[in-house]
Amino acid sequence: MGELEIIFLGTGTSQGVPIIGCDCITCKSSDPRDQRFRTSILLRTNSVSLLIDTSPDFRTQCLRENIRKVDAVLYTHSHTDHVMGFDDLRRFCEMADSDLPIYAVSETLNDLKRIFPYAFQTTHSFLKNYMRAAPREIKGEFSLGDLRIIPVALPHGRFTTTGFVFFRGARKLLAYYTDCKSVPPEAQEAARGAEILVLDALRHVPHPTHLTLQEATEAAQRLSVRGCYFTHMSHDLKHEETESTLPLGIRLAYDGLQLRI
């Protein structure tokens, strides 16, 4: 393993791709890269295994990638397509026979406690196969294993999501920015020069809470990253056709894609 292994568990928008009742060329495509579960990602180093978000497809994603260990979960925000696989984390509590640290800003933690109150009830912590969440409020820079993590606020319509920039020593390995309408100056500086940028790119047509393909491309080009992969994509973006139009160094991610840096 390199310093960081990245596994894209899902790269689709909130409805996934194909979407229900659609006969477009992407939804009918035989290219497996056009079949997108809801967005989530797994990060591994030699010392830690981190999950970002638990989509409604989380159980299937875990089985597909044979995921057997999660040391902590980081949440970007509490929208349905990013949290509704939460209860499937209980299996990782059972296998490790321990609580599972859940990292999020206060607003997102409060939403998780409201949606899944049973998981935060300490009276159930003695049950081995129960979901045992150990909340950790993100207030600034923090470390997990051999990774140093800087949280970044990103605009998402009326909401604010949390992006994450990951360092190992002095190396800025990854900036992960999903579900955002823009990349504001602070987020740009945090991501600038990262070896890999993962960025929201919903579709071609403007959207009130997400970057378009063109907006994401322009943002990526400003940041001088070594490589960029777009995620959280709708059926508007057919993989092969869309990727052929992108500048050098910018690509579409796809479910199951693994990177090592």
With bands split at pLDDT 50, 70 and 90, how would you rate the model's confidence at 2?
Answer: low
User: pLDDT-based confidence at 79, cuts 50/70/90?
Assistant: very high
Select the more confidently predicted residue: 132 or 231. Answer: 231
Does residue 227 surpass a pLDDT of 60?
Answer: yes
Would you say 17 and 34 are in contact if contact means Cβ atoms under 8 Å apart?
Answer: yes
pLDDT at 152 over 90: yes
Quote the pLDDT of residue 124.
56
Q: What is the pTM of this model?
A: 0.96
> Tell me: the pLDDT tens digits for 235-261?
999 999 999 999 999 999 999 999 999
Give the pLDDT confidence score for residue 129 in this predicted structure: 73
What is the pLDDT, as a whole number, of residue 125? 54
136: phi then psi, degrees, rounded to nearest 5: -130, 110
Domains of the chain listed by start with CATH number:
5-255 (3.60.15.10)
Average pLDDT over residues 66-77: 98
Q: Other CB atoms closer than 10 Å to residue 31's CB: what's the count?
A: 12
168-209: pLDDT as tens digits: 999 999 999 999 999 999 999 999 999 999 999 999 999 999
What is the model's pLDDT at position 126?
59
What is the C-alpha separation between 73 and 42, in angstroms, rounded? Answer: 9
Residue 61: pLDDT over 80: yes
Q: Considering only CA atoms, which of 5, 146, 7, 131 is closest in space to residue 66?
A: 7
pLDDT digits (tens, 9 = 90+) for 12-41: 999 999 999 999 999 999 999 999 999 999
The residues facing 42 across adjacent strands are 7, 51
Q: What is the pLDDT of residues 98-137, one digit of tens each?
A: 999 999 999 999 999 999 998 988 655 556 778 889 999 9
